[in-house]
Amino acid sequence: MGNILEIKNLVVNFYTYEGVVKALNDVSFSVDHGSTFGLVGESGCGKSVTARAIMRIIQEPGRIESGQVILYPETVDGNGSVDLLKQSEAYMEDLRGNQISMIFQEPNAALNPIMSIGDQVAESFLFHQKQILCETILSELSDGQHRPSKAVLMCLKTIYGKAADDGDSFFFKLLGSVPFLRNWDRRLKSVAIRRAVSLIGKLGIPQPERIVNLYPHNLSGGMKQRIVIAIGLASNPLLLIADEATSNLDVTIQAQILELLKILKKDGISSILLITHDLGVVAETCDRVGVMYAGNICEIADVREVFEAPLHPYTRALLKSVPKINQDDRLASIPGNVPNLVNPPSGCRFHPRCMAALPICRHEAPALVNAHGRHLVACHNSSVA
């Protein structure tokens, strides 16, 4: 299985009044093709910053200092790799929502309140998959029942054929001023809406035909989040990044979304980078997991390994601190608090709270190394812990 995404030695700082927030300190991991990679950690450990760095949408006063974000768009056919941090802003704009879609925690921010649900999903189809839509229309035109006259058919074929190649060209600006051809794209839109209805239905929302005519405020949080996922999927992305996409939802609604993500994975829809602070969500949806603490990756392993044989002291402590379904004894808590990243602890950033700390941990940061198999860990003392 090849990589779809590889992050190498990513460093991100925020230059705030309080000082420099060292948010990401040499973060490296890779996401396999067609798999779900979970990034877990407590709040402020840098999960969202990682996602934003991949998309290159770090807010002010943040800066990506160094590192690489390599996308392998063509791995399927075995060629091509792009370092996103080296690309132009125009390239990134094209990539966002096209090859990589991102879903955030708050669905309201991602939806347009004054546009109908159907239009919003359809717009995403129109924007990212115009070519496929045009091809659909062309094939419908050739074998449809109510065929237009030969001349009109020729004309339409030319239009949609051209639109499939390049929908934004001068030709279409010109077209817009021809009276009876001005609405040439109406047909395109209706195909897009049809696709929207079918996608929304697939995401488990009852009566999609009705839903497409509603507006965001008519829907509940869980439904809105599914619409956001639909918009993200409409572009048929290579990678879907979901940042705490279920964290604000109720248990029964979260269950709906988690099942949905599993189905998407089974259908091989895309690779997913799932960001969450909930170890339960990780256990259920991910193939591989990266555990973050204070801007570092502590451990990366397959999901079973992380839960059954964790190597890093932080991972172990974290697992012991969440209540389990068969929890009979007292929870073990981690003493102290998550550090402030303006003045992170020296050496291993976990050392002030670590039960297994050695003298070396105070001044030397451990490197992320392969312990065995594909189990990576960053700790001076992982065997003892």
Partner 1 sequence: MYSQNKILELRNLKKYYPVYGGVLRRVKNHVKALDGIDLDIYRGECVGVVGESGCGKTTASKAIVRLHTPTAGRILFHRNGRDDGESITDISRLKRGALKRKGIREKLQMVFQDPSTSLNPRMLVKHIITEPLREYTDLSSREMENRVVELLNMVGLSKTHLMRYPHEFSGGQRQRIAVARAIASHPEFLVLDEPTSALDVSVQAQILNLLLSLRDKFNLTYLFVTHHLLVVKYISTRIVVMYLGKIVEMSGTKDLFATPFHPYTFALLSGIPIPGSEQRMKRIVLSGDVPNPLNPPRGCRFHTRCPFAFKQCGDEEPGLEEIAPGHFSACHLKSRSRQKVRDKFGNGM
Ligand X SMILES: Nc1ncnc2c1ncn2[C@@H]1O[C@H](COP(=O)(O)OP(=O)(O)O)[C@@H](O)[C@H]1O
**Cα 189 from chain centroid (whole Å):** 27
**Which lies closer to ligand X via its Cβ, residue 44 or residue 352?**
44
∠ CA 366-45-269, rounded to 5°:
100
**CB-closest chain residue to Mg ion:** 48
Choice from 28, 36, 48, 129 touching Mg ion (CB under 5 A) = 48
Euclidean distance between CA atoms 18 and 92, whole angstroms: 31
Closest distance of CB 360 from ligand SF4, Å: 7
- Note whether 117 binds ligand SF4 by CB under 6 A: no
Q: CB under 6 A: which stretch of 42-50, 76-84, 130-138, 259-267 binds ligand X?
A: 42-50
Does residue 334 bind partner 1 (CB under 8 A)? yes
Q: Which of residues 260-319 bind partner 1 (CB under 8 A)?
A: 277-284, 303-304, 307-308, 317-319
Would strands 62-71 and 375-377 be described as parallel, antiparallel, or unpaired?
Answer: unpaired
Using CB under 6 A, pick the residue from 67, 216, 295, 366 that binds ligand SF4.
366
Q: Is the peptide bond before 148 cis (omega within 30 degrees of 0)?
A: no
Question: What x-and-dash track marks residues 14-53 binding partner 1 by CB under 8 A?
Answer: ----------------------------xx----------
Of 289, 327, 297, 302, nearest to 314 by C-alpha is 297
Q: Could you tell me which residues come within 8 angstroms of residue 167 by beta carbon, excluding any fewer than 6 positions away?
A: 130, 134
**Measured between alpha carbons, how far is 119 from 140 in angstroms, rounded to an integer?**
22
Interface stretch with ligand X, choices 40-48, 76-84, 117-125, 226-234 (CB under 6 A):
40-48
By CB under 8 A, tell whether 337 contacts partner 1: yes
274: helix, strand or coil:
strand
Tell me how many residues contact ligand X (CB under 6 A): 15
Per-residue DSSP letter, 219: S
- The residues pairing with 274 across neighbouring beta strands, listed in sequence order, are 38, 242
Q: Name residues contacting ligand SF4, limited to 332-351 (CB under 6 A).
A: 348, 350-351
With a CB cutoff of 8 Å and minimum separation 6, the contacts of 358 are 380, 381
**277 close to 38: Cβ distance less than 8 angstroms:** no
Burial bucket for residue 92 (CB in 10 Å: 0-12, 13-18, 19+): middle
Residue 249 beta carbon to ligand X: minimum distance, rounded to whole angstroms: 17
Give percent helix, percent strand, percent coil of the chain, each to the nearest 5: 40, 20, 35
Element (H, E) at 66: strand 62-71
**How many chain residues touch partner 1 (CB under 8 A)?**
46
Q: How far is the CB of 318 from ligand X (least distance, A)?
A: 13
**Among 93, 85, 90, CA closest to 128:** 93
From the list ligand X, ligand SF4, partner 1, none, pick the one residue 358 interacts with, judged by a Cβ distance below 5 to 8 Å according to partner type.
Answer: ligand SF4
The residue among 43 and 326 lying less far from ligand X, judged by its C-beta, is 43
User: Is the sign of the CA dihedral 374, 360, 294, 64 positive or negative?
Assistant: negative
Name which of ligand SF4, ligand X, Mg ion, none residue 350 binds, using a CB cut-off of 5 to 8 Å depending on partner kind: ligand SF4
Q: Does 361 bind ligand SF4 (CB under 6 A)?
A: yes
The answer to whether residue 316 forms part of the interface with ligand SF4 (CB under 6 A) is: no
Q: Give the one entry of ligand X, ligand SF4, partner 1, none that residue 137 binds, where binding means its C-beta sits below a cut-off of 5 to 8 angstroms depending on kind.
A: none
Which residues make up the interface to ligand X (CB under 6 A)? Answer: 14, 16, 21, 23, 41, 43-49, 59, 62, 341
By the criterion CB under 6 A, which residues form the site for ligand SF4?
313-314, 348, 350-351, 354, 356-358, 361, 366, 379-381
- Positions in the binding site for partner 1 (CB under 8 A): 42-43, 204, 206, 220, 222-223, 250-256, 258-259, 277-284, 303-304, 307-308, 317-319, 321-327, 330-335, 337-338
